[in-house]
Amino acid sequence: MPYLLFFVGLALALTAAFKLTQKKNEPFDDALRAEVDRPLNRELVALFELQESVESALSELDEKNQVYHHLVTRMEKQREAVEFRLQQLDRLISRAEAILNNPVSRPETTTGRVRHQEVYRLKDEGCDVADIAAQLGIGRGEVELILGLRR
């Protein structure tokens, strides 16, 4: 009797398994699967489009970042040039104030050779024409003429 119950149970299990495998091919499952897949496909397309737009925005942002860095570099160079010019201007102003506050008393007996030597000396020290003219109290044209004679 126990064997009979065992074989009946085995037959029922095999029948249930066979019925379950046939149930997968029902049209309801296919329709349900199609309904579930359709929104997923739409969402995947939307996600793909979103990814493309984000990549496009990132590339535009990268280009703008490069332009920004170029402009910042250019502005730094201009700022350095302006600071250099301001330093030159401050030096010229301080020299002019020194001359105005303490005028150089030149003796009338100063010969042309001494003046030429002073111009040459100041030029050799690295002063420019305007500085030499201000320090010696002579015109820029005269300084340029004296320096031209040296050559």
Q: How far apart are CA 68 and CA 76, in angstroms?
A: 12
DSSP 102: S
Q: How far apart are CA 15 and CA 8, in angstroms?
A: 11
Return the sign of the alpha-carbon dihedral for residues 23, 24, 29, 30: negative
Count of beta carbons in the 10 Å neighbourhood of residue 129: 18
Q: How far apart are CA 140 and CA 145, in angstroms?
A: 9
Q: Please list the pLDDT of the chain residue by residue as tens digits (151 residues).
A: 777 888 888 888 888 887 777 655 556 666 666 666 676 777 888 889 999 999 999 999 999 999 999 999 999 999 999 999 999 999 888 888 887 877 554 444 456 788 889 999 999 999 989 999 988 889 899 999 998 887 6
- Number of helices (H), then strands (E), belonging to the chain: the values are 5, 0
Contact between residue 131 and residue 147 where contact means Cβ atoms under 8 Å apart: no
Q: How far apart are CA 39 and CA 34, in angstroms?
A: 9
